[in-house]
Amino acid sequence: MPELPEVESVRRRLVPVLEGRRFERVEIADARLTRPFDPDQVARELEGERVVAVDRRGKYLIVRFESGRALLVHLRMTGSFRLRAPADDVLPDDAYRRAVVRLDDGSDAAYRDVRRFGTWQLLEPGELQPYLDARVGPEPLDPAFTAKGLAARLAKRRAPVKAAILDQRTLAGVGNIYADEALWRARIHPLREARSLEPAEIRKLRQAIRDVLLLGIERQGSTLRDYALPDGEAGGMQDEFKVYGRLGEPCDRCGTPIERIVVGGRGTWYCPHCQPSPLERAGRTAS
C-alpha cells in the first residue's frame, strides 16, 4: 500500500506533466472511483479545469485547479498512474485502467487500480482544508512536527504505539512498512502502550520516522507488488528494509532472528532483542 514516500514519489513525477496543463478530456470507467457521485458527471466537471499545483498531504495527492477546486486522489491499496507523452503511441491495453485524463498538450495521465479501493474526489473551493483537517494530523517531514507535539498526541493513548502511529490523525502518511522500520530504528517494541514511551524514546521515534520517510523518498518508494512510478519504474526502498517482511532473517544490528506478530490486525516485524517487549522491560526495571 502506498505510504508517504510512495505518494510523494508519484507526486514528483506528476508535477512536470500536470502543472500548468488543462484537463481536456476525462474518462472515468469505474463508478467506485468517484462514488457516491456519478463518474461521468465528475468527468464532465473536471474537463476544462487548469492545474496550478500538484501537492500532497499524508497519503493524499492534491491536484489544485485555477478555479479553486481540487481533485483529491487517494491511491489506497493498488492505485497508480501511468503517463503517455504526446509523442508516444497510444496507451497500452490495461485491464486495470480506471480513468484517463487527456491534457491540452496531447499527453495522457492514466489511472490504474487492481483492487479498486482508490478514490477521486472533486472538492469545491473552501472544502479541501476542512476535509483534510478532520482526517490528517501533522506532516512528519514538516519542521512543525516536533517531539513535544508527538508526545502530546501519544500521551493518553493506551493503544500499542504501532497502532497509534498508523492512525493518520496522530501523524500523516505512515503505514505498515514505515511504522515497522521506524520502530526498529528507535528500538521500541510495537506493542508498547503509546502513553508509556519516555521522552527520550519519543525523540528517537520522531527522528526515526523522519529518517525512514526521507530514505523512502530518496529510493522513490518500495515496490513489493503493485506500486510503480508513473513511468512504470519500480522503487528501491524494499532493499533497505531492516525488519519488514524479514521473518527469521538476522537483525542487522544484533543478529537475532526477526520475528513477526500481529498488531491491530497488521503483520508486524521486529527484533525481539533490540526492541524489548513491555514485559521484559518491566522485568529489567524491577531487578
What does the binding site for Zn ion look like in residue numbers (CB under 5 A)? 251, 253-254, 256, 271, 273-274
Contact status, residue 144 vs residue 153, Cβ threshold 8 Å: no
Q: Distance between CA atoms of 77 and 216, rounded to whole angstroms?
A: 17
In the complex, least distance from residue 88 CB atom to Zn ion, rounded to whole angstroms: 48
Considering the complex, state which of residue 227 and residue 269 has its C-beta at the smaller distance from Zn ion.
269
In the complex, least distance from residue 249 CB atom to Zn ion, rounded to whole angstroms: 11
Three-state SS string over the chain comes to CCCHHHHHHHHHHHHHHHCCCEEEEEEECCHHHHCCCCHHHHHHHHCCCEEEEEEEECCEEEEEECCCCEEEEECCCCEEEEEECCCCCCCCCCCCEEEEEEECCCCEEEEEECCCCCEEEEECCCCHHHHHHHHCCCCCCCCCCCHHHHHHHHCCCCCEHHHHHHCCCCCCCCCHHHHHHHHHHHCCCCCCEHHHCCHHHHHHHHHHHHHHHHHHHHCCCCCCCCCCCCCCCCCCHHHHCCCCCCCCCECCCCCCECEEEEECCEEEEECCCCCCCHHHHHHHHHC
Considering the complex, state which of residue 85 and residue 254 has its C-beta at the smaller distance from Zn ion.
254
Active site residues: 2-3, 59, 266
Considering the complex, state which of residue 76 and residue 273 has its C-beta at the smaller distance from Zn ion.
273
Strand partners, 51: 65
Considering the complex, state which of residue 36 and residue 255 has its C-beta at the smaller distance from Zn ion.
255
Q: Distance between CA atoms of 176 and 157, rounded to whole angstroms?
A: 19
Considering the complex, state which of residue 120 and residue 270 has its C-beta at the smaller distance from Zn ion.
270
In the complex, least distance from residue 193 CB atom to Zn ion, rounded to whole angstroms: 22
Considering the complex, state which of residue 26 and residue 271 has its C-beta at the smaller distance from Zn ion.
271
In the complex, least distance from residue 250 CB atom to Zn ion, rounded to whole angstroms: 8
In the complex, least distance from residue 275 CB atom to Zn ion, rounded to whole angstroms: 7
For Zn ion, which residue has the nearest CB?
Answer: 251
Q: Distance between CA atoms of 26 and 45, rounded to whole angstroms?
A: 9
In the complex, least distance from residue 271 CB atom to Zn ion, rounded to whole angstroms: 3
